[in-house]
C-alpha cells in the first residue's frame, strides 16, 4: 500500500514501499545505510529480555562491527503496518528528512545493539529489555510477530563507527557493568574478548530470572548479579563492595544514565582508574523518552 504524507514545511515525503528494494536504492556510498527488514521470529529469553530476529534481502549489505555495535530501529506508528522511510542518503541526509516529517507519520526511532549476525540466511538479533507499555520500543518488542516490518539504520562498511568498546593494548583485566539494556552489548563483547583476559561483570537486573541471559558463563568471567530492591538501583554499591583484581583495568559501563554517572565517578574518583580507560554511556534516562534525550543532547552522555 502506498501512503502519501507531508512534512511540516508542506513538502511531500516519499512513501516507503516494502518491496525490499535492491541494495543500491537503500544505500549510498556511505558508512551507514537504512535496511528495510521484517521480523523473522521472536524469542522470550528472560522475564525482561526478548530477542527479535530480523531478516531481509537488504541485510547482505549489513556489516556488523561487533562488540557494542549500535543501530537505530525505525518502527511504524500505531495504525501503520510499516514505517515511512524518510528520503536521504545513508549517512545523515535521511535523518534531517526524518526530523522534518510530521509527527503523525514520522517513524519511531530507538537505539539498540546488534547482539548477533548470521549469514545464509542473513539475519540479525536485537535483544530488547522490555519495560511494559511505557515506551514505543518496549511496546513494539512485546507485540512483535513474524512478518512485522521495520527498518534498521546500521553499518554498511567495515569500521563504520557506532562501536564504543575500545580495548587498550595489554589490558590487565576488564570490568563490564550495566542493567538489562546493556546486557546485549555485554554478551556480545564477552564473545570477542580473549579467553585468558580476566573479566568482572556487574549486572543490575530486576530479579534472578534475568541471570539466564549470560548463562552458561565463560571461563575467566566472574559475574556479580545485583537484584534491584523495590526498584532501587545498586550497581555502584556492589562495585564499591567488591575486591577487584590488580593490574591495569579497562571499564565499560552502560545503562540508566544516573547510575552510569555514579559508577564512573566511583571508578575514577574513588578507585583511581584512568578516566581514559573508563568507557561510559547513558543508554536511557529515568523519566525521559529517547526522543526527549535527543533534544537534551547526545544520547550517549551519562
Ligand atoms: C548505544 C545504545 C545501545 C542500546 N542498546 C540497547 C539494547 O541492545 N537493548 C535494549 O533493550 N536497550 C538498548 N538501549 C537502550 C534503549 O535505547 C532505551 O531503553 C530506549 O529508551 C527504549 O525506548 P522505549 O521506546 O522502550 O522507551 P522510551 O520511549 O525511550 O522511554 C519511555 C519511558 O521508559 C523509560 N525507559 C526507557 N528505557 C528503559 C529501560 N531499559 N528500562 C526501564 N525503563 C526504561 C524512560 O525513562 C521513560 O520514562 C541502547 C541505548 C543506546 C544509546
Indicate which atom in ligand 1 lies nearest the CA of residue 285. 47
pLDDT of residue 15: 34
| Other Cβ atoms within 10 Å of 96 Cβ, number | 11
Residue 43: partners with Cβ closer than 8 Å, 6 or more residues away: 50, 51, 53
> Does the CB atom of residue 69 touch ligand 1 within 6 A?
no
CA–CA gap between residue 294 and residue 110 (Å, rounded): 10
Indicate which atom in ligand 1 lies nearest the CA of residue 287. 49
Does an H or E element contain 257, and which? helix 257-265
- Ligand 1 probe mutation, 44, 65, 103, 134, most atoms within 8 A of CB: 134
> Does the CB atom of residue 290 touch ligand 1 within 6 A?
yes
pLDDT of residue 5: 37
SS3 235: helix
Residue 64: partners with Cβ closer than 8 Å, 6 or more residues away: 114, 117, 124, 154, 155
pLDDT of residue 88: 77
Indicate which atom in ligand 1 lies nearest the CA of residue 299. 53
Indicate which atom in ligand 1 lies nearest the CA of residue 281. 53
**Dist. CA 290 → ligand 1 center (Å):** 7
- Ligand 1 probe mutation, 133, 135, 143, 165, most atoms within 8 A of CB: 135
Q: Which of 158, 233, 176, 170 is nearest to 196 (CA)?
A: 170
pLDDT of residue 29: 56
Structure-block grid coordinates of residue 17: 514501499
CA–CA gap between residue 156 and residue 34 (Å, rounded): 9
Beta strands in the chain (DSSP E): 5-6, 12-13, 32-46, 49-55, 70-75, 108-113, 116-118, 123-129, 149-155, 173-178, 199-205, 221-227, 249-256, 278-284
pLDDT of residue 128: 98
Give phi and psi for 301, each to the nearest 5: -65, 130
Q: Are 83 and 16 in contact (CB under 8 A)?
A: yes
CA–CA gap between residue 107 and residue 103 (Å, rounded): 8
pLDDT of residue 14: 35
CA–CA gap between residue 139 and residue 155 (Å, rounded): 25
Q: Please state the length of the chain.
A: 302
Going by CA atoms, what residue is nearest to atom 44 of ligand 1? 131
Going by CA atoms, what residue is nearest to atom 5 of ligand 1? 112
- Ligand 1 probe mutation, 283, 291, 299, most atoms within 8 A of CB: 283
> Does the CB atom of residue 239 touch ligand 1 within 6 A?
no
pLDDT of residue 16: 35
Sketch out the chain's domains with CATH numbers.
5-155 (2.40.30.10), 173-296 (3.40.50.80)
pLDDT of residue 300: 44
For residue 53, the Cα-to-chain-centroid distance in whole angstroms is: 14
Q: Are 223 and 214 in contact (CB under 8 A)?
A: yes
CA–CA gap between residue 36 and residue 150 (Å, rounded): 6
Q: What is the mean pLDDT for each group of 10 consecutive residues in the chain (302 residues)? A: 36 36 49 95 98 97 97 95 85 83 95 97 98 95 98 95 95 97 98 95 96 92 91 87 94 97 97 96 96 66 48
Amino acid at each position: 500500500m502506498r501512503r502519501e504524507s507531508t512534512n511540516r514545511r508542506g513538502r511531500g515525503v516519499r512513501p516507503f514501499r516494502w518491496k525490499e528494494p535492491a541494495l543500491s536504492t537503500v544505500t549510498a556510498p556511505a558508512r551507514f545505510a537504512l535496511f528495510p527488514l521484517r521480523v523473522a521470529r521472536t524469542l522470550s529469553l528472560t522475564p525482561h529480555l526478548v530477542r527479535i530476529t530480523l531478516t531481509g534481502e537488504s541485510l547482505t549489505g549489513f556489516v556488523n562491527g561487533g562488540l557494542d555495535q549500535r543501530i537505530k530501529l525505525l518502527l511504524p506508528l500505531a495504525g501503520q503496518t510499516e514505517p515511512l522511510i524518510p528520503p536521504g542518503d545513508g549517512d545523515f541526509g535521511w535523518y534531517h528528512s526524518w526530523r522534518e516529517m510530521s509527527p503523525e507519520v514520522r517513524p519511531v526511532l530507538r537505539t539498540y545493539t546488534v547482539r548477533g549476525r548470521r549469514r545464509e540466511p542473513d539475519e540479525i538479533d536485537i535483544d530488547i529489555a522490555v519495560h511494559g507499555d511505557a515506551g514505543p520500543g518496549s511496546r513494539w518488542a512485546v507485540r512483535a510477530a513474524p512478518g512485522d516490518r521495520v527498518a534498521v539504520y546500521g553499518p554498511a562498511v567495515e569500521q563504520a563507527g557506532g562501536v564504543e568498546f575500545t580495548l587498550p593494548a595489554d589490558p590487565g583485566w576488564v570490568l563490564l557493568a550495566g542493567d538489562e539494556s546493556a546486557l546485549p552489548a555485554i554478551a556480545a563483547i564477552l564473545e570477542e574478548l580473549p579467553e585468558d583476559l580476566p573479566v568482572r561483570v556487574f549486572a543490575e537486573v530486576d530479579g534472578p530470572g534475568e541471570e539466564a541471559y549470560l548463562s552458561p558463563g565463560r571461563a575467566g568471567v566472574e559475574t556479580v548479579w545485583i537484584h534491584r530492591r523495590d526498584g532501587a538501583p545498586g550497581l555502584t554499591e556492589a562495585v564499591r563492595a567488591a575486591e577487584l583484581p590488580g593490574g591495569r583495568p579497562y571499564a565499560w559501563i552502560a545503562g540508566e544514565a544516573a547510575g552510569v554517572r555514579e559508577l564512573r565517578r566511583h571508578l575514577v574518583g574513588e578507585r583511581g582508574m584512568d578516566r581514559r580507560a573508563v568507557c561510559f554511556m547513558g543508554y536511557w534516562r529515568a523519566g525521559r523518552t529517547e526522543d526527549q534525550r535527543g533534544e537534551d543532547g547526545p544520547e550517549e552522555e551519562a
